[in-house]
Amino acid sequence: MTAPDLAIDVTGVTKRFSAKTVVNGIDLAVRRGEIYGFLGPNGSGKTTFIRMLCGLLTPDAGRGTCLGYDVRTQQAEIKRHVGYMTQKFSYYEDLSIRENLDFIARIYAVPDRTAAVQRSLDRLGLANRSHQLAGRLSGGWKQRLALAACLIHEPKLLLLDEPTAGVDPKARREFWDEIHRLAADGLTVLITTHYMDEAERCHRLAYLAYGNLLARGTLAEVLAAAKLTTWSVSGPDLRPLAAALRGRDGIEQVVAFGNTLHVSGRDAALMTTTIATVRDPRHEWRQINAGLEDVFISLMDQAKDNFA
């Protein structure tokens, strides 16, 4: 793939704080117009990596471009063309929605600022609330304001850091519908999330754990690469069964999913042998396709904590 087709194209990106390496030699290529999901446990380096992409931090090693601009030497240009939505709501709570957007438009020297603010209000359904103070908004409406502010200067790339944390399911769905509309219009989106249903709505995924990139690709590619065998178990007395399975040969994880257990491991033959020792006619065992959450937990269990 040629460079003009890539919104993000970085190699070996590394960041250290004192003796700790929090991002370790990451390679990442994100196509223009793509929604790219970034997964990983808390403290895995996702936010640090995003801040290097948008010009807020300088990598200690590595090279590459964001929107064609060098991530080490052209950070000011990157900032002009990127919208960055942080984990924490970062707008002025004692200003109204309209005043916040007008302020951000001033920072970016947006032409015809009044019209640009109105377009942003209309696009995110904020027009009827435009005079409401930001500090009095619910989580879902704060999220809309933050997204509107990210879009006010018509960026070519959105970097969204856990944007739906603490937001109700309806607001999350509406947010994702808007993200897909933006991507269909050519906007590139890199988004971090802990929600598996959101990850499955991305075009491609990357899994980062403790600074290391452990998996990447489409959903199907990530699931296949994990080579995880998973059984679903239903029936009575699942709690003692789970206790009997944990720590046994071939059993990597035993997780309750509603009224069933998911039992997973990477050595299918060894799992079969172990399961045979605890089989009970009261339980129904059914081999299923491993889900993204099964893979997520498996990768996290294998990763080494760089702060341990």
Q: Domains in the chain, please, with CATH?
A: 3-223 (3.40.50.300), 229-289 (3.30.70)
Give the pLDDT confidence of 295-305 residue by residue, as tens digits.
988 888 776 66
pTM of the full structure? 0.89
Q: What is the predicted pLDDT for the residue at 307?
A: 53
Average pLDDT over residues 176-200: 92
**Residue 278 contacts residue 245 (beta carbons within 8 Å):** yes
Q: What are phi and psi of 94, to 5 degrees?
A: -95, 10
- Sheet hosting strand 61-66, strand order edge to edge: 20-31, 6-17, 61-66, 69-70
What are the distances in angstroms from CA 264 to CA 122, 126, 290? 47, 46, 8
| C-alpha torsion angle, residues 21, 26, 31, 35 (rounded to 10) | -50
Residue 285 tokens, joined: 């065992």
| Mean pLDDT, range 234-250, rounded to an integer | 94
pLDDT tens by residue, 266-275: 999 999 999 9
48: pLDDT strictly greater than 80? yes
Tokens read off for 145: 């304001």
Give CA torsion, residues 171, 176, 182, 186, to 10 deg.
170
Where on the phi/psi map is residue 210: left (φ > 0), alpha (ψ -120 to 50), or beta?
A: left
What does the pLDDT read at residue 212? 92
Residue 306: pLDDT band (50, 70, 90) is low
pLDDT score at 289: 92
Report the mean per-residue pLDDT for the chain: 91
- The string over 71-84, giving b where at least 16 C-beta atoms fall within 10 Å of a residue's C-beta and e elsewhere, is bbeebeebbebbbb
Which tens digits make up the pLDDT trace of 12-22?
999 999 889 99
Q: Please say whether the beta carbons of 69 and 82 come within 8 A.
A: no
Please report the beta strands in 32-95, taking only residues with DSSP state E, as ranges in sequence order. 35-39, 61-66, 69-70, 82-85
- Order across the sheet with 253-257: list the strands: 253-257, 260-265, 229-234, 284-288
State the pLDDT confidence band at 195, using cuts at 50, 70 and 90: confident
* Polymer length in residues for the chain: 308
- Cα separations in angstroms, 139 against 89, 104, 170, 268, 307: 9, 20, 12, 44, 32
Nearest residue to 208 via CA among 44, 43, 15: 44
Is 140 a residue whose pLDDT tops 90? Answer: no
Is the pLDDT assigned to residue 45 strictly greater than 60? yes
Given a contact cutoff of 8 angstroms between Cβ atoms, the answer to whether 306 and 20 are in contact is yes
Element (H, E) at 189: strand 188-192
